[in-house]
Structure 1
């Protein structure tokens, strides 16, 4: 009884199950078929290269044993065409030849042959050569399977990445909606806001609210870290300082059930700290510069909770910084914050900004710093106003950076141009 080449893999090397023998000698075909049949392989035969190619298209044999010297199409040409065929897996090719010169061997290898057998074929050597080919095929198929698994994993990761990227783009839209007004004219002053996250979403937040015609709250916040977690914290803080829902804004308190008055900035910072510290599982903290401005008198009350010091560019060109640091918000419980006060005169400009500006690395390898930002502010103020001014500041920053395509941190700013519309109001 002949062994079953498919269901009894122990009778042969498992990676080689189907063998094609190509020889124009029918006697050689019978001899080789008998040898391989006893070893348990499924044997296919072809008497020419053309017939062999047709069988390879249909059957995709694991291994081809081909005579070198054949009419019409010799073994070298068959091997070349075999290598050009599209296959599901690698096929092993052995040339049967009486040639033994090094030049002939090199020629066969160049054609794509994997091994050689010298005629007349010895059954033990035949089996050894096939076993060697089986080991190669086995490794190749294991590698192909691993590559397939890697490819499947990469495709799955790509799908996950695309889904995450889609969610992040939506999150960016939502975060941008936290700053619905980028430019606002109130009383005789103008406010312009800039928000540029370094990724899809960021941890910076700028905003304003107006409890009355001549009252303005303006803030710049920088949450620790980057990405989704920081963005979620900014969304929560935006609710605490809402411009649309004054009853939820902790910087405001209702008076006589008729109007909202502004709390002292130091008290606002204390309440915000109290809420963030009380949130379970939230490890992020934030820095904040917040000002309450009287747009009639120019009086500014300010709290600086670990944030970059607010800057005032006076109408006469002088630059002043205000604040002495302070503890960030949400870091420790029971914190009292210092409050500062100064005045703005007509034409003065107040800038709240994140350290994405001052810590940006310039082409000389150094950070921009506060002095560099002051110079950048002065230059931009000569060329534009309002949103054009803050956008110009950002453009000047990136044009001087070591790598303009990569922001190392979120960049944000809130600009108040005080009493610049006075002539319009009087007119």
Structure 2
């Protein structure tokens, strides 16, 4: 029997008929096709015909047919094989497939289901039963179309969210570069003392800030700051605070006071922290606050004055390895208007070092939930008492990774390490 050729274009009624009113009848018997087509047209369907599975595949693809009524036994590709081929199409919409069969054995029905058939009709076909089965198929197609539309909406939404995420991610990477630029000089040798800095954010950007500046010919100021919260707003706050500790524009440096001409002098540490608190409570109106350890070291005598405001206690490691913690605690900056802060004095001898760090170290948890705390920090410093400068800070991060169980720390890590060598004439 000669196959029906694929028409160049569907008839006008098929081009305009709704998808759920268009059906493809596949049967190698011309008489059987005519009977089924007549029944379907009387029920309002636009019918296309194919006398073999190969032609049916072409018509279904060309005219986006969603309802297929196919005989089981045909020359060449069988009805179940046609069903499987339709299901295997890339990107095709769902097709409701009904098999016509004279078979009623359970094994054959199971075979058809396994190949993807949705329903079965036994020959000879009852018109009422056929219409009822097609109504059920149309309900399924309607649900499938609704589900597809919702899935496409979800996909479009996810695509847009991914685009926005990529945009935010790109901005955050640039913000990270700008934040890193606030601490460009991670090591500086003052001759009689050396400063090393650690700054590692737990996310793209963080709320920690560390740094130092030359306060006078014989003094260096050190600071470790931890802004509350995480993310962009905390990072913006650190940028603003960094501007208030910048010696490039001494008139804006909150730690300096103008004396005469182009001369400035550094203020006591408790006054500096008090000025920060006044700034936060009266000028910078924000829900954020921050903790700080601020120290001024005399490079010739080793004398240190420091103020602690809610920050972990500064640690001093003596030449022999013993670790001491100093400071009076104090309130975080920006919480209470008029808060008072204390100044502590101590002395570094040649070979001693001072560490200011954020609670990202001392409050780092082990897998058990136990915190590193001051004892753990002291043990780290003692374990690496012969390691100097940036290498010490790096070794401490490695130790913290072992303690935490991974390098995915829950909080930012930051520290300022000052190592005192003593006056030029001193002999260690």
Q: TM-score range by the shorter chain?
A: over 0.9
Q: Out of 383, 386, 391, which is 2:389 matched to?
A: 386
Whole-angstrom distance in 1 between the partners of 2:422 and 2:302: 12
Match of 2:6 in 1: none
Match of 2:157 in 1: 153
Q: Aligned-pair RMSD on alpha carbons?
A: 1.9
Matched, 1:63 2:55: no
8 Å CA contact 1:246, 1:252 repeated in 2 = yes
Deviation at 1:77, TM superposition (A): 2.1
8 Å CA contact 1:356, 1:410 repeated in 2 = yes
Whole-angstrom distance in 2 between the partners of 1:421 and 1:296: 5
Superposed CA deviations along residues 149-183 of structure 1, whole A, max 9, x for unmatched, are: 11111111111111101111111111111112110
Match of 2:84 in 1: 80
Match of 1:334 in 2: 338
- 1:239-388 equivalences in 2 (<5 Å): 239-279=243-283, 281-382=285-386, 384-388=387-391
Whole-angstrom distance in 2 between the partners of 1:205 and 1:239: 11
Match of 1:397 in 2: 400
Superposed CA deviations along residues 26-80 of structure 1, whole A, max 9, x for unmatched, are: 1111111111112222110011122212212312311110111222232122222
Superposed CA deviations along residues 128-155 of structure 1, whole A, max 9, x for unmatched, are: 1001111111111111111111111111
Whole-angstrom distance in 2 between the partners of 1:154 and 1:407: 29
Deviation at 1:421, TM superposition (A): 8.0
Q: Out of 137, 141, 162, which is 1:137 matched to?
A: 141
Residues 87 and 124 (structure 1 numbering): CA distance in 2 closer, same or farther, change over 3 Å? farther
Matched, 1:20 2:24: yes
Structure 1 stretches of at least 4 aligned residues deviating more than 6 Å after TM superposition: 3-8
8 Å CA contact 1:37, 1:43 repeated in 2 = yes
Match of 2:51 in 1: 47
Q: Out of 150, 166, 170, which is 2:170 matched to?
A: 166
Q: How many residue pairs end up in the alignment?
A: 416
Deviation at 1:4, TM superposition (A): 6.2
Deviation at 1:6, TM superposition (A): 7.4
Match of 1:413 in 2: 415
Whole-angstrom distance in 1 between the partners of 2:333 and 2:165: 34
Whole-angstrom distance in 2 between the partners of 1:296 and 1:421: 5
Match of 1:93 in 2: 97
Whole-angstrom distance in 1 between the partners of 2:86 and 2:322: 82
Whole-angstrom distance in 1 between the partners of 2:410 and 2:304: 32
Q: Secondary structure at the match of 1:212?
A: coil
Whole-angstrom distance in 2 between the partners of 1:281 and 1:252: 23
Taking structure 1 as the reference length, the TM-score comes to: 0.93
Match of 2:221 in 1: 217
Match of 2:34 in 1: 30
8 Å CA contact 1:15, 1:137 repeated in 2 = no
Whole-angstrom distance in 2 between the partners of 1:392 and 1:245: 35
Range with greater deviation from structure 2 (211-220 or 82-91): 82-91
Whole-angstrom distance in 2 between the partners of 1:262 and 1:224: 27
Whole-angstrom distance in 2 between the partners of 1:280 and 1:386: 36
8 Å CA contact 1:186, 1:213 repeated in 2 = no
Match of 2:196 in 1: 192
Unaligned runs of 5+ in 2: 1-11
Q: Secondary structure at the match of 1:323?
A: coil
Matched, 1:227 2:222: no
Whole-angstrom distance in 1 between the partners of 2:85 and 2:277: 76
Match of 1:127 in 2: 131
Taking structure 2 as the reference length, the TM-score comes to: 0.93
Whole-angstrom distance in 2 between the partners of 1:4 and 1:137: 21
Deviation at 1:401, TM superposition (A): 1.2
Residues 98 and 279 (structure 1 numbering): CA distance in 2 closer, same or farther, change over 3 Å? farther
Whole-angstrom distance in 2 between the partners of 1:258 and 1:33: 100
Deviation at 1:242, TM superposition (A): 0.9
8 Å CA contact 2:309, 2:331 repeated in 1 = yes
Q: Secondary structure at the match of 1:394?
A: helix
Whole-angstrom distance in 1 between the partners of 2:153 and 2:219: 63
Q: Secondary structure at the match of 1:381?
A: coil
Whole-angstrom distance in 1 between the partners of 2:311 and 2:156: 47
